[in-house]
Structure 1
Amino acid sequence: MATTKGRMALSFLTAALAAGSLTARSPQESLRVNAAADRLLAERTQLGLDADHAFRLRDSHSDQLGQTHGHFQQTYKGVKVWGGDAITHTGKDGAELPLTNALHRNITINVMPSLSEGEALAAAQSDLAPKGPFAYAPTTELVVYPEMVEVTRPGKRALDQLNADDVTRQVLRHTLAYHVHTELENEADGIRHTDYLVNAHTGAILKKWNTLHTTAATGTGNSQYNGVVSLPTNYTGTTYELRDMTRGTGGTFGNNVVTNSAHAATTSTAAGTLYTDADNTWGDGANYVEGSSTTAANGETAAVDAMFGMVKSWDFYKSVFGRNGIDGAGTATYSRVHIGNSYDNAFWSDSCFCMTYGDGSSFTTLTALDVAGHEMSHGVCARTANLTYSGESGGLNESNSDIFGTMIEFYARGGSGATIGNTGGNWTIGEQLASTPLRYMYKPSLDGSSPDAWSSTVGSLDVHYSSGPMNRCFYFLSQGATTTGNTSTTYLPSGMTGIGNDKAAAIWFRALTTYLTSSSNYAAARTAAISSAKDLYGAGGAEEQAVWNAFHGINVGAAWSGGSTDTTAPTVSATESGTSGTITFSATASDNVGVSRVEFYVDGALKGTDTTSPYSMTFDSTTLTNGSHSLVAKAYDAAGNVGTSTTATFSVSNATSGAELILNGGFESGATSWTQTSGVIGTFTGQAAHTGSYDAWMCGYGSAHTDYIYQQIAIPSTATGTLTFWLHVDSAETTTTTAYDTLKVQVLNTSGTVLATLATYSNLNKGAGYTQKSLSLAAYKGQTVRLRFYAVEDSSLQTSFVVDDVSVK
């Protein structure tokens, strides 16, 4: 039974999650980025976007090659598009370079939510069921969320034989949603950082994921003794502070510092007390004894390791890559040690821009060098690619921290200046915390949970496990692969030669900061790494070859074939034949080496692939709206070069007698093909659909309200034109004589003028369940009209009109 909706259309954009400050740009960089922004706006049509789309600059940087890169966030009617990213690239000479394009097209939703941000937060809190207070006030941001499905390319192998390149992601529908970020840190809940995507019309939870950037999936960290080290400190005139006066400015303490949480509850968000010492000699080099003083020498040891980790991580990014701190702008961070009692975890938080370390129970104190590097690298990722911490992108995020945590360890123990080196470090994570490491980069499956290679299920794993294939890929890239043993893979039976830490790290850092987007998956990571290798070391060299082979070693893409020095993209053109029923898409493609496949896109969405010339495919045009559409063909060669055709425009006119004239009459594609007031079409817990999951629910507020849906159809001159639909009416009205709330079924012309009201239903029709209605459209043969369902509710006592399975034949 339908119940009162109680929806509210309030402010639709709230405070976004902190994205970090932008690095101050040089005048040249500013000019280039501004020009790139202007080009994006000017090229919206070529990108498949309309005037409702715009772009917000999220970050920019210029690199050692003299290139400038701008990271832009896509918006639709002022609302952020989730995963919609564009990265512009400008050459040293100022020339425009190819765009990194992760934009979403064909968005046609109303961006006014039915729920307030408070109601969305309430939905998330209901699922989260917190027992104690939040550490920081939850944040909400309205977004356009693309609900995705993975599709295997036609003609590909069984699931267990797929390569990452065999799978593409397609958008089922775009949904208005709130992104809710929560951070619980209290005794009752423990430390839980959870993100939600909540349907902004229904309150349904579309997705949730854990966003606590910890060292291990089980909530563990690392503890490592670094021997006798030199520490940066500050003398106040009476005592010494564990304050680095040479690294970091601003932030909470003005410099990078270490603080003592003194066993404050794990829920505490207090910054802690700055560590001081009278004689400037810190720690005793031994693991912390639980329950002893946190300010005595033994308690200071954790602070020593935490500071050492910050120093080495900061110097690694600054000296090797020229990056000034975590955010690139030199903003200071801090580390809190001795949180809780025997707390087996270490984590990074963007909210406090800080790291937190427990003393451990199953593990030793968690202030390890590779832990510090791992955690600070989460902060770097958040301010560059900003990889979403869920699915394949979440695995890449976690792997990125493992990669740079490992490189920082190599750098601190065997490198200097701008050189990382290949000695001093190791290829395990957390190896000094306990008798066995947390993760094995050279063979991830040794931990019992992580896969060694990509598969179609990798995105469903916890991010600490789905990171495994990328960890192994980086190991192969740096160190190579053998033909037997733990450093071998069946995908590379002859093994491969690595290129060393310095080149491998440079390629991955450029991929992270220049080409990866928030939604990148493993296949996109391969493309980004290949582009980075070409940029840094030239096309076809040993470095690019190693990238191809390393990714092939984890079942992502082809191995280097020797012919991929080819950089010439195929040429391709596209045509379409037919206007109704089954139509045909055709393409002519050629390449200097050979075309491997042609993909056909209609209105920006992939519809099919052909691998054999002449390239063509048939398509059911009744799945498209009547009217004009665009066709684009993309041709690929074996080297991965892509050629794109110019847009071919074609028309669909499925108006033959007996054909279904209504598109998406069951609403299972959401609001596609319909125009609606906000929140009418969706899935609702208060009333099941007649069939499927979606229906159109109008009114039901118990207050003065108007809702409608309509679709424009062309009725053939030879058609009878019968409209059928299923209607469910539920009402709190008790009268049996007065129609207070009404639903009118109307015919309008294309300008919106009402030509006729075919039928009127009201609260007097309540309680009958779903009933099928049939109305004649014979008077409108040969005309193009709008078919509208128009509901009006008065100021008291709700009436809900639910429509489903609309058909005109």
Structure 2
Amino acid sequence: MKPAPLSALWPLLATMAGYCTAAYAAPQLMAPPVTTLSPQQSSNLLTQLTAMDAARGLAPELSVRLSSQHPGTTGQKIVRTQHTYKGLRIFGSESVVVTDTAGTIVSVASTDRRGVATGGLAPLAAADVPPAISPAEAIRIAASSVAPRGVDRWPPSAELLIFPVARSVRVPAAQSKQETELNAADVQEVIERYALAYYVKTRMAQDNKPVYYDTIIDANTGAILAQWPALKTVVGSGNSQYNGVVPINTSVATSGFQMLDTTRGSGGKYGGMAITNANHSSADNPDPGNIYTNSSNSWGDGKQYVNGGSTTSANGQTAAVNALWGLMNTYDANRNALGWHSLDGNNTATYIAAHVDTSYDNAFYDDGCKCMYIGDGNHFNSLGAIDVIGHEMSHGVTAATADLVYAGESGGLNESNSDVGGEMVEAYARAGGTGSVIPASGNDWMMGTEISKNGQPLRWMYRPSKDGSSPDAWSSSLKYLDVHYSSGPNNRMFYFLAQGSRADPASDYYSKYLTRTPAAMHGIGSDKAYRIWFKALTTKFTSTTGYADARAKVLEAAQELYGASSKEAIAVQRAYAAINVGADIDEADGGGGEPQGAERIINGGFEDGINGWKGATAVIGSDPAQVAYEGTRYARMGGKGHTTNQVLTQSVSIPASATQATLSFATHIETGEVHPVAYDQLTVTLKDSVGKVVRTLARYSNKDAVAGYQLHSFDVLAQKGKTLTLSFAMHEDNSKPTFFVIDKVSLLTN
């Protein structure tokens, strides 16, 4: 039998009549931790799935087995199953099964690699021949290929399974297209053959670094069929390094207090969310050490760790403050907004170990301990920034749900999910870390800006190609890139889904693939975008989901949450079209998502020079030494190092009919001041026609200096019906310079 293309197999179960329901009401929260299926419930579910397969004509040798379980929305459970042939798992062939309280199947999403189109037995004869090499030999081959001098950090494993060897081919309609014209929908995977193989997992250390790899070894020849890295990385009150004084949950210890938060999560290694001191334990085999303790409940000094200093002093505690605040906000963002408890949905506590190795420029999530390690940095600052922690912890969510293979397109989606999670946690934390929605602003849509010593982020979500390596859109070569680069297009998709795009070809927010009306798609807001994405990840994605499959499943999630022809579903299609995945469509009402409103600021990005601005307009410009928040220009105030006053203003009007009015801007603050005193200040106000201050929006000083930009947002609806002067007033004292950089000034009204 000729193997069927995967694109023909994926939707078979998902499209079966009667097994898909839509919920157009307000999104439900995910359920609290659920109990595992009883033997009777498991048997009942397997009976239903077997009957479904039998109805399709599948031979009894092709079966399913239950693999994992996590909560769904309230009243539902998610069970993931693996497809098997004579008891052996077929790699990447899986189903995600949603059941209700009675155990009845509600929906099924599948990646089916059993080689069956309409029934019959797949050509899996390779599984009928006993393996020629042992599991131990397979482990030896895999280990020697990645770390010949390596030492096991976690015990290796070798699972005998069936590996579908596939290749990408064009669909018939795309045969004559040029390579550069291909869309993700123009290609599909076709299984060429099946190999009896070992899936080998090695978690080793070599040359002072962890070397974690997954390898597929041919069980008859010993050849390496596939291989990919498995380490998910990014290159009281506490004085945090990046966020000022922040509240952190600690608990009483014998001689004071400890960084153990027993209100978030249970079980795990420490019985709650904990921060431990790795105390420079080698990254190749790190020991998490003991939970941080302190005689008082005030922690840290808010400064970068001084290399060689004590890890338990106030300076050494700062990295732990960063970590605990980040861990708390990651937990709260997912629990309060989505109903998802901890990493696995079942509220299992995790921990972060600070000060791993010496001057270590990395942070990583280790699925062996389901924990995170952060380094102090060398070329970077301490790697415990809020978006980095949200990123790494999101790898734990992926591991507990879709478990996306960390290679090719699925690996890019794995990394992208963590970037999305990091940004959403950052937005939630910046808004105070409370509430049931992800705020529309507050994050900078750039990964790792704060840890960068030169202000350059690791990744730009709105235009990934700014890093010089990540593509902005899908291409047939995407699967060959490092996963930190192949994540780029999906990051951009999510940005467009949440924030919308722009029609100006010179803008970082423009996509040439948006060819329908309007040229600038409308976003639906971060909260809705995250709910749609998270539903797709947890209830539809399988381990080998790629870009085209992701589009189909994210669209299904949007349709189930908001309706088949909803503006949210339209926005999903346009956001994916913007990265060359699927076709673009018109927005039925000229606006496919949440109205972004009318812009009342003229030249808020300063790209048109001084246009619209008055006062100290000489501060507007560009310099290779200073990166703009977006575009190339900004307003840079201060930096003189002597007594200076500068004021930059613009007249703005808020219509009396406005129902929403949001003022926002980005700031970047650099200082030469060393004392924690507000010597240099920037005051942002709104003034009436005679110059009287009607509202002071914010005051910033040299004490607020951080790496990279921070985005600030203010509700100014109370000023509707007024014409006001927006004022940025900078005062610098007579010594030590402070730069106040302003960009992306915006006043949106509806």
Partner of 1:542: 567
**Correspondences of 1:202-351 after superposition (within 5 Å):** 202-216=221-235, 225-351=242-368
Q: Which residue does the alignment assign to 2:143?
A: 125
Q: Are the aligned partners of 1:32 and 1:90 in contact in 2 as well (CA < 8 Å)?
A: no
Note the C-alpha offset of 1:28: 9.7
Query: Between the two proteins, what is the percent identity of the paired residues?
Result: 43
Change over 3 Å in CA distance of 1:33–1:61 after alignment to 2: farther
> Is it true that 1:72 corresponds to 2:90 in the alignment?
no
The letter of the residue matching 1:227 is G
Q: 192-201 or 234-243: which moved more?
A: 234-243
Q: Count how many residue pairs are aligned between Structure 1 and Structure 2.
A: 536
Distance 1:472 1:224 in 2: 29
Contact 1:224 1:369 in 2 (8 A): no
Shift of 1:447: 0.4
* Offset at residue 25 of structure 1 (A): 3.6
Q: Which residue of 1 aligns with 2:523?
A: 498
Aligned to 1:488: 510
In 2, distance between residues paired with 1:324 and 1:533?
22
> Aligned partners of 2:57 and 2:308: how far apart in 1?
63
Contact map agreement 1:131 1:189 (CA 8 A) in 2: no
1:445 aligns with 2:492: no
* Other structure's SS at 2:579 match: coil
- Residue 184 of structure 1 deviates from its aligned partner by 2.2
Question: How far off its partner does 1:129 sit?
Answer: 3.7
Pairing of 1:180-219 with structure 2 (within 5 A): 180-186=200-206, 188=207, 190-216=209-235
Question: Partner amino acid for 1:72?
Answer: T
Aligned letter for 2:532? I
Q: Which amino acid aligns with 2:59?
A: D
Name the residue aligned to 1:523: 548
How many Å separate the matches in 2 of 1:109 and 1:455? 33
| Deviation of 1:410 (Å) | 0.3
For 2:188, which of 144, 154, 168 is the aligned residue?
168
Q: Give the counterpart of 2:160 among 135, 138, 142.
A: 142
Q: Is the 8 A contact 2:330 2:390 kept in 1?
A: yes
Asked if the contact 1:224–1:433 (Cα under 8 Å) also holds between the matched residues in 2, the reply is no
Q: Note the C-alpha offset of 1:364.
A: 0.2
Rounded Cα–Cα distance in structure 2 between residues aligned with 1:489 and 1:482? 8
Q: Distance in 1 between matches of 2:429 and 2:39?
A: 35
For residue 158 of structure 1, what is the aligned residue in structure 2?
A: 178
8 Å Cα contact 1:449-1:465 kept in structure 2: yes
Q: What are the Cα deviations for residues 351-372 of structure 1, in whole angstroms up to 9, with x where unaligned?
A: 1111000111100001111111
Asked whether the 8 Å contact 2:208–2:282 carries over to 1, the reply is: no
SS in 1 for 2:526: helix
How far apart, CA to CA, are the structure 2 residues paired with 1:465 and 1:293?
37
For residues 129 and 65 of structure 1, the distance between their equivalents in structure 2, rounded to whole angstroms, comes to: 45
Distance in 2 (CA, whole Å) between partners of 1:110 and 1:191 is 34
Amino acid in the other structure paired with 1:145: F
Give the 3-state SS of the residue equivalent to 1:340 in structure 2: coil
Task: Give 1:198 shift.
Answer: 0.4
The CA distance in 2 between the partners of 1:248 and 1:69, in whole Å, is 20
1:557 maps to 2:575:
no
Displacement after TM superposition at 1:92 (Å): 8.2
What is the Cα deviation at residue 255 of structure 1?
1.5
Deviating beyond 4 angstroms after TM superposition, the runs of 4 or more aligned structure 1 residues are 26-34, 65-68, 90-98, 561-564
How has the CA–CA distance of structure 1 residues 308 and 27 changed in structure 2, closer, same or farther, with 3 Å as cutoff?
Answer: closer
Matched with 1:761 is none
Whichever residue aligns with residue 218 of structure 2, its letter is: N
User: Could you say what secondary structure the match of 2:82 adopts?
Assistant: strand
Pair 1:416-2:434 in alignment: yes
Quick check: 1:32–1:68 contact (8 Å CA) kept in 2? no
Contact 1:177 1:197 in 2 (8 A): yes
Distance 1:337 1:533 in 2: 39
Deviations along 1:154-210, one digit per CA (max 9) or x if unpaired, are 131122111101111110111111111112234x25222111100111111111111
Matched with 1:753 is: none
The 8 Å contact of residues 217 and 226 in structure 2, kept in 1 or not, is answered as yes
Aligned-residue Cα RMSD (Å) equals 2.3
Q: Secondary structure of the equivalent of 1:208? A: strand
For residue 251 of structure 1, report the CA deviation from its aligned partner: 1.5
- The answer to whether the Cα contact below 8 Å between 1:422 and 1:500 also exists between their aligned partners in 2 is yes
1:714-748 C-alpha deviation (Å, 9 max, x unpaired): xxxxxxxxxxxxxxxxxxxxxxxxxxxxxxxxxxx
Call closer, same or farther: CA 1:316–1:31 in 2, change over 3 Å. farther
Query: What secondary structure sits across from 2:387 in the alignment?
Result: helix
Q: CA deviation at 1:91?
A: 6.3
AA matched with 1:215: V
Which digits, 9 at most, give the CA deviation of each residue in 1:410-462, with x for residues without a partner? Answer: 01112622111112211000011222000000000000000000001101100
Shift in CA distance, 189/77, structure 1 to aligned 2, threshold 3 Å = farther
| Equivalent residue number for residue 377 of structure 1 | 394
Cα pair 1:163 1:556 within 8 Å, conserved: yes
CA contact 2:135–2:158 (8 Å) conserved in 1 = yes
Alpha-carbon distance in 2 for matches of 1:514, 1:48: 26
Contact kept in structure 2, 1:29 and 1:62, CA below 8 Å: no
1:88 is aligned, of 87, 92, 97, to 97
Report SS of the residue matched to 1:109: helix
Q: CA deviation at 1:57?
A: 1.8
The one-character-per-residue Cα deviations of 1:290-336 (angstroms, maximum 9, x if unpaired) are 11111100000000001111101111111111111111121111111
Q: Which residue of 1 aligns with 2:112?
A: 103
Conserved? CA contact 1:132–1:189, under 8 Å: no
Name the amino acid aligned to 2:469.
Answer: S
Q: Is the 8 A contact 1:508 1:529 kept in 2?
A: yes
Asked whether the 8 Å contact 2:217–2:224 carries over to 1, the reply is yes
The answer to whether the Cα contact below 8 Å between 2:33 and 2:347 also exists between their aligned partners in 1 is: no
Instruction: Tell me, in whole angstroms, the C-alpha distance in 1 between the residues paired with 2:39 and 2:345.
Output: 16
**In structure 1, what is the Cα distance between the partners aligned to 2:232 and 2:281?**
20
**Cα-to-partner distance string for 1:193-243 (whole Å, 9 max, x where unaligned):** 111100111111111111110013xxxxxx961210111111124221111
Structure 1 residue 37, shift from structure 2 partner: 2.3
CA–CA distance in 1 between the matches of 2:564 and 2:275? 45
TM-fit CA distance, 1:470: 0.2
* Letter of the 1:532 counterpart: A
- In structure 2, which of residues 492, 498, 504 is the aligned counterpart of residue 478 of structure 1? 498
Q: Distance in 2 between matches of 1:419 and 1:512?
A: 19
Distance 1:280 1:100 in 2: 49
The structure 2 residue matched to 1:179, chosen from 178, 183, 199, is: 199
Tell me, which stretches of 5 or more residues in structure 1 are unaligned? 1-21, 217-222, 565-809
Provide the C-alpha distance between the structure 1 equivalents of 2:101 and 2:498, rounded to a whole number of angstroms: 28
Whether the 8 Å contact between 1:33 and 1:68 is mirrored in structure 2 is no
SS in 1 for 2:127: coil
Structure 2 unaligned spans of 5+: 1-30, 115-121, 590-750
Q: Could you tell me how far apart the structure 1 residues matched to 2:72 and 2:39 are?
A: 14
Q: Is the 8 A contact 2:147 2:204 kept in 1?
A: no
Counterpart of 1:428 in structure 2 is 446
Distance in 2 between the 1:319 and 1:128 partners?
Answer: 42
Letter of the structure 2 residue corresponding to residue 43 of structure 1: M
TM normalised by structure 1 equals: 0.64
- Is residue 65–residue 92 contact of structure 1 (8 Å, CA) maintained in 2? no
Change (3 A) 1:34 1:487: farther
CA–CA distance in 2 between the matches of 1:50 and 1:404? 41
